[in-house]
Amino acid sequence: MNPFDAPRQTELAAAAQVCDRCGSRVAGLCQPLDSAALDEISSEAQQMTMPAHAAVFREGDPAGRIFTLVDGFAKLTRLLPDGKQQVVGFRFAGDVIGYTTLPTYPFDAELLTESRLCRLDRGQLDALLRRYPTLERRMLDLCVQELTATQEQLVTVGRRSAEARVAAFLLSLVEASRRRNRPCSVLEMPMTRSDIADFLGLTLETVSRSLTAFRKRGWIREPVHHRVELVNFAALSALAEGTDD
């Protein structure tokens, strides 16, 4: 059932193999490496499990480690001086967290669920980068993808109505699920209304009202807590694109 059960391998190697298997464009740091390289990384990397709501790192911490989220969900947040927070992104199984060339992390990384992580120290990473130059190119690819996603989010927050933002968010969950190659009729949505609001530049009440509206229109279902099913994908897309009116 769980694809991460191979007992002989570290989680990072397992994650990379999962990536290979699903042929994903995006997931995983080590996708381009051969098994010899994976073995080497396996011997270097620390695997660990952390509980829900744990902080992987905080904004301002020295950026000495890089993580792969093997299993679970995380949010990346920035804090305003007045205490309000902005979620700059969510992370899913297979995603890399905390890579930066800056001296300190520019945001908090906090887990939404109990998660399995694979940890690599900066020194180890730099050594690997030297040994496997394709990895450096991979880092750049990941950074460009992240940048493009953040720009898209900027468009959503800056120019779309409240319901359009929530619709766009739901669609991005589908995309993330597709990336992980999971059957996507019912999506996991472990983030709270407040998390979603802080991601979309809305209040939690507005997010709640939007989701209720979608439910009443029969566009979505929420069979259990923290699960959504998108029933009318087309309607949500039209709303997100502004192609409805």
Partner DNA sequence: CGATTACTTGAGCGAGGTCAACGACGGTGG
Partner DNA sequence: CCACCGTCGTTGACCTCGCTCAAGTAATCG
Q: Which does 194 bind (CB under 5 to 8 A by kind): a second copy, DNA, none?
A: DNA
CB of 239 to a second copy, least distance (A): 11
170 binding DNA? (CB under 7 A): no
Q: Which does 163 bind (CB under 5 to 8 A by kind): a second copy, DNA, none?
A: DNA
Q: Which does 225 bind (CB under 5 to 8 A by kind): DNA, a second copy, none?
A: DNA
CB of 168 to a second copy, least distance (A): 11
Q: Which does 222 bind (CB under 5 to 8 A by kind): DNA, a second copy, none?
A: DNA
Q: Which is nearer to a second copy, 35 or 145 (CB)?
A: 145
Q: Which is nearer to DNA, 55 or 162 (CB)?
A: 162
Structure tokens at 41: 């990384």
8 A C-beta contact, residue 24 and residue 181: yes
161 binding DNA? (CB under 7 A): yes
Q: Which is nearer to DNA, 117 or 228 (CB)?
A: 228
Contact set with a second copy (CB under 8 A): 78, 80-82, 84-86, 88, 100-102, 106-107, 133, 136-137, 139-141, 143-144, 146-148, 150-155, 157-160, 198, 200-201, 241-243
**DSSP assignment of the chain, as one string?**
--TT--TTS-HHHHHHHHHHHHT-SS--S-TT--HHHHHHHHHHPEEEEE-TT-EEE-TTSB--EEEEEEES-EEEEEE-TTS-EEEEEEE-TT-EE---SSSB-SSEEEESS-EEEEEEEHHHHHHHHHH-HHHHHHHHHHHHHHHHHHHHHHHHHHHS-HHHHHHHHHHHHHHHHHHTT---SEEE--S-HHHHHHHHTS-HHHHHHHHHHHHHTTSEE-SSTTEEEES-HHHHHHHHHT---
Selected from 201, 231, 232, 238, the binder of DNA by CB under 7 A is 201
46 binding DNA? (CB under 7 A): no
Q: Where does this chain bind DNA (CB under 7 A)?
A: 161-163, 192-194, 201-206, 208-209, 211-212, 222, 225-226
